[in-house]
Amino acid sequence: MAQKTRSIEITQVTEWKDGTTTRLGDYLAAEEPLEMRSGRFSLGITLRTPGDDEELVAGFLFTEGIITGREDLVSMRMPEDRSPEKNLVRVTLDPSVLLTASSAARRFSAGSACGVCGKASITQLRRRGLRRPEAAAPFDPEMLCQLPPRLSAAQDVFGRTGGLHAAALFGPNGDLLVLREDIGRHNAVDKVIGWALLSGRLPLHDP
């Protein structure tokens, strides 16, 4: 049976080398479902790598348009590890957030796809009123080219498992502010956005 250590599972594999097989321990990126509920409404289910779940929930609710700011999220009740509901997060939303049976933006479980899958219509993608980035970007192109290797060097779980997505938030000078890893690329992004939301950094500003 795999032994779970937070975001990583340890399992046994058979290695073949020079005609000889050897049993070895190996690391795998963990993946478990997570459901978000508010009262009697299920807000969404996602398959994620456990860890930073508060940020994932906050980012998910924000990017899906269920909440529009930190003030809409009153509280989150995270489950205990040994609880029968260990993969269920109960959130309390501000009374101004009106939920209906169709509030959950994804109509089925989200796996490791981009996060767009599961939308009921293209209109839902355009409803958020997102704006294009400023045309005159104030970033140095050489500095931007240095960000991917900085991100890779900071991927602890990927370094041990060899299979995981990551998203990061960098400052205007290329300083790494936060990095999150997850089996789902959209979850990694939601974790970063959730970190910014819970830290009072949305709209984004310098630290």
pLDDT value at residue 129: 55
Q: In the chain, what percentage of residues exceed pLDDT 70?
A: 72
Candidates 155, 96, 157, 100; CA nearest to 167 is 155
Q: Is residue 83 part of a domain?
A: yes
How buried is 89 (Cβ within 10 angstroms: 0-12 exposed, 13-18 middle, 19+ buried)?
buried
The total number of structural domains that make up the chain: 1
Does residue 77 fall inside a structural domain? yes
In a domain, 116, yes or no: yes
- The answer as to whether 111 is a domain residue is yes
Residue 57: give the domain boundaries: 32-130+184-198
Catalytic residue, chosen from 2, 10, 13, 114, is 114
Active site residue 114: yes
What is the C-alpha separation between 182 and 41, in angstroms, rounded?
25
Evaluate whether 47 touches 110 at the Cβ level (below 8 Å): yes
CA distance 207 to 204: 9
Using DSSP's 3-state secondary structure scheme, residue 29 falls into: strand
Please, which pLDDT band fits residue 107 given cuts at 50, 70 and 90? very low
pLDDT of residue 122: 52
Rg of the chain on CA atoms, in Å = 19
Between 126 and 43, the higher pLDDT residue? 43
Q: Length of the chain in residues, anyone?
A: 207
